[in-house]
Amino acid sequence: AAADKGAYPYYMLKEIDEQPAVMRRIQGKYLDNNEPKFDAKLIKQLTDATKLYIVGAGTSYHAGLVGKKLFEKLAKTPTEVVVASEFAYDDPIIEDGAMFIFLSQSGETADSRQVLVRATNEWKVPTLTITNVDNSTLAREADNAVTLEAGPEIAVASTKAYTAQIAVEVLLATAVGRIKDITAAKEIDLNEQFSQTANAMQVVVDEKDQIQKIAEDNLAKTRNAFYIGRGLDYNVALEASLKLKEISYIQAEGFAAGELKHGTIALIEKGTPVIGIITQAATADNTRSNLQEVLSRGANVINIVREGLAKDGDQIIIPSVDEIMMPLVSVVVGQLMAYYATLLRGYNVDQPRNLAKSVTVE
């Protein structure tokens, strides 16, 4: 069965490995002849929206951060991403033309539901839930629902749901952008990108030994660690650090590479692991200088760099796909890094302390 861990020691590892297949499944279900295929009413509502709000918690919030960049680039729709538990009690100014997108693996997160209730009853705006669980509360209560097709996710640490959420956001944003005649949306070859991304993910999961070794050398004993990056790489830094902290209990922080020098760099000591993510050409040099700054303060620098931007001495080189798809590839390294750090430190990967798979209280 899909929810059987088979020969795998932990569900998390199985779910990490499934990601290339999930990409292909999403491609099969939501792409037809290179055109995104969704309910027409949903695409009309999204296209008519003059402002999008993406709501989520934890990993789903992080997928929303990437979604903002996708909707702004591919569909040119202004997008705001909000943490559900904060937004639920804020006093936002919701303009006419707004639409709300809820990202939730489980579809049961109480914080997100609280925002959905207000969106429906108070702000009276169209809503969409993107979830991995078909008949979940958030799916039933929103005007529209799109299923992630990631298959059951059992490990508390979310992996394939994050990449599935981003994949679906790419398709939705492209669908809207093509109707709005946005060049970036017209130019992206979705079939090609999805196939290449699935292959690139496969390359990363096939290089587990290398990532395990890097985790052994850098994360076995450390008390803290940083992930840094800019733009989409920063978004992935946040997710990779959440993975690390929730299962390995390393105090990890995802940080905007350029912001580090404005204070947080004071935390860098001899041996502090700092993992830099470099997949975007426009910011690669700047992130490299930020890594240089921490290196000269004694940090153990590890970098994850996409082919084409790599230089001598880079540790983890990942295959290149369209830059907007790179989070789907780079995050897999972060997931595996967290997995191996946790094994090394002797904790239960699938069931971290203090955490439940879905959080149904506010």
Residues at the site binding ligand AGP, with contacts judged by CB under 6 A: 57-60, 104-106, 109, 112, 156-158, 246, 358-359
In the bound complex, what is the minimum distance in angstroms from residue 113's beta carbon to ligand AGP? 9
Which tokens in the block code for residue 6?
Answer: 């088979």
Total Cβ atoms within 10 A of residue 3: 10
Pick 79 or 104: Cβ nearer ligand AGP: 104
In the bound complex, what is the minimum distance in angstroms from residue 241's beta carbon to ligand AGP? 11
- Taking the C-alpha atoms of residue 154 and residue 6, their distance in angstroms, rounded to an integer, is 13
In the bound complex, what is the minimum distance in angstroms from residue 163's beta carbon to ligand AGP? 12
Closest-by-Cβ residue to ligand AGP is 58
Map residue 35 onto helix, strand or coil: strand
Residue 6, amino acid: G
In the bound complex, what is the minimum distance in angstroms from residue 151's beta carbon to ligand AGP? 15
Q: Which of 76, 180, 208, 357 is catalytic?
A: 357
List 52's β-bridge partners, or say none. 79, 99
Pick 182 or 338: Cβ nearer ligand AGP: 338
In the bound complex, what is the minimum distance in angstroms from residue 104's beta carbon to ligand AGP? 3
104, 91 contact by CB (below 8 A): no
Q: What is the CA radius of gyration of the chain?
A: 20
In the bound complex, what is the minimum distance in angstroms from residue 329's beta carbon to ligand AGP? 19
* DSSP character string of 126-164: -EEEEESSTT-HHHHHSSEEEE-------SSS--HHHHH
In the bound complex, what is the minimum distance in angstroms from residue 76's beta carbon to ligand AGP? 27
Told to judge if 357 belongs to the known catalytic residues of this protein, a careful annotator would answer yes
Q: What angle do CA 272, 275, 278 make, to 5 degrees?
A: 150
Backbone angles phi, psi at 138, to 5 degrees: -65, -35
185, 70 contact by CB (below 8 A): no
Which tokens in the block code for residue 20?
Answer: 């290339």
- Taking the C-alpha atoms of residue 204 and residue 200, their distance in angstroms, rounded to an integer, is 6
Residue 250, amino acid: I
32 sits in which H/E element: strand 31-32
Q: What angle do CA 69, 75, 79 make, to 5 degrees?
A: 50
Tell me the CA distances in angstroms from 273 to 127, 223, 224, 251, 292, one per residue in order: 41, 10, 7, 11, 13
Residue 330, amino acid: S
In the bound complex, what is the minimum distance in angstroms from residue 304's beta carbon to ligand AGP? 19
Pick 109 or 315: Cβ nearer ligand AGP: 109
Pick 291 or 328: Cβ nearer ligand AGP: 328
- Taking the C-alpha atoms of residue 258 and residue 44, their distance in angstroms, rounded to an integer, is 38
- Taking the C-alpha atoms of residue 217 and residue 315, their distance in angstroms, rounded to an integer, is 12
Residue 105, amino acid: Q
Any idea which residues carry the catalytic annotation? Answer: 357
